Chains A and B, each alone.
Chain A
Amino acid sequence: MLRRNLMLAVALGATLLSGAAYAADPVSIVYIPKNTGNPYFDSIIKGFEDGCKTLGCEFTTVAPASAEATSQIPFVTAQIQRGVNVVAISPNSPDALNQVFDRARAKGTIILSVNSDMPGNETHRDAAILPVDFTKTGPSQVELLGKQIGYEGEIAILSATTDAPDQNVWIAAMKETLEKDPKYAKMKLVTIAYGDDDPQKSTTETEALLANYPNLKGIISPTTVGVAAAAQVVETAKKADKVKVVGLGTPNQMRRFIENGTVEAFQLWSPYNQGLLAANFAVGVKNGTIKNEAGTVFEVPGLGKVTVEKDSVIKTQADLTTFDKTNIADFNF
Chain B
Amino acid sequence: MSEIARLFRAREAGILVMLVLFVAVVSLIQPRFFSTETLRIVLLAVPLILVAAMGQMMVLVARHVDLSIGSILGFSAIAAGMVFRDHPELPLFVGFAVGVLSGAALGFVNGLVVTVFKLPSIIVTLGTLSLYRGLLFILSGSKQIDPNDIPEPLIRMAQTSPIDIPWIVIIAFGVAFATWLFLTYSQIGRQIYAIGSNPVAAPLRGIRVMPVTILVFTLSGALAGLAGLIYAARFGYVNPGITGVGFEFTVIAAVVIGGVSINGGVGSVLGTVLGVLLLGSVQVALPILGVSGFWQNAIYGGIILIALVIDRTVRQGGLRGLLARGGA
Contact = CB atoms under 8 A, between A and B. Distances in A.
B255 to A, nearest CB: 18
Nearest to B41: A207
B81 to A, nearest CB: 12
A319 B2 CA distance: 73
Interface stretch (A30-38, A143-151, A289-297, A302-310): A30-38
Contacts of A65: 133, 137, 241
Contacts of A193: 287
Contact of A204 (B32, B40, B137, B287): B287
Contacts of A254: 147
B235 A1 contact: no
A246 B286 CA distance: 25
A36 B142 CA distance: 6
Interface in B206-244: 234-237, 239-243
A205 B287 contact: yes
A212 B32 contact: yes
Contacts of A203: 234-235
Is the contact region of chain B dominated by helix, strand, or loop, or is it mixed? Answer: helix
Contact of A211 (B38, B159, B237): B38
A5 B45 CA distance: 37
B137 A4 contact: no
A255 B287 contact: no
A313 interface: no
Given A211-B37, A237-B40, A253-B146, 19 more contacts: A8-B138, A36-B137, A37-B241, A39-B143, A39-B146, A42-B143, A67-B241, A196-B293, A199-B237, A199-B243, A203-B234, A204-B283, A207-B41, A207-B287, A210-B37, A228-B237, A229-B235, A252-B147, A256-B147
B115 interface: no
A38 B241 contact: yes
B142 A228 contact: no
A273 to B, nearest CB: 21
A255 B146 CA distance: 9
26 contacts: A5-B138, A36-B137, A36-B142, A37-B137, A37-B140, A37-B242, A39-B144, A65-B137, A67-B241, A194-B293, A198-B242, A203-B234, A204-B283, A207-B284, A211-B32, A211-B35, A211-B37, A211-B38, A212-B288, A228-B236, A232-B234, A232-B235, A232-B236, A238-B159, A252-B146, A253-B237
A37 B238 CA distance: 10
Contacts of B137: 36-37, 65
Interface residues of B, number: 39
B146 A208 contact: no
Contacts of A201: 293
Contacts of B187: none
A208 B158 contact: no
A235 B152 CA distance: 12
Given A194-B293, A256-B236, A236 B159 contact: yes
Contacts of A236: 44, 158-159
A205 B293 contact: yes
Residue among A212, A238, A259 facing the most chain B CB atoms (10 A cut-off): A212
Closest 8 A/B residue pairs (Cβ): A208-B287, A37-B240, A37-B241, A37-B142, A252-B146, A256-B147, A199-B235, A255-B148
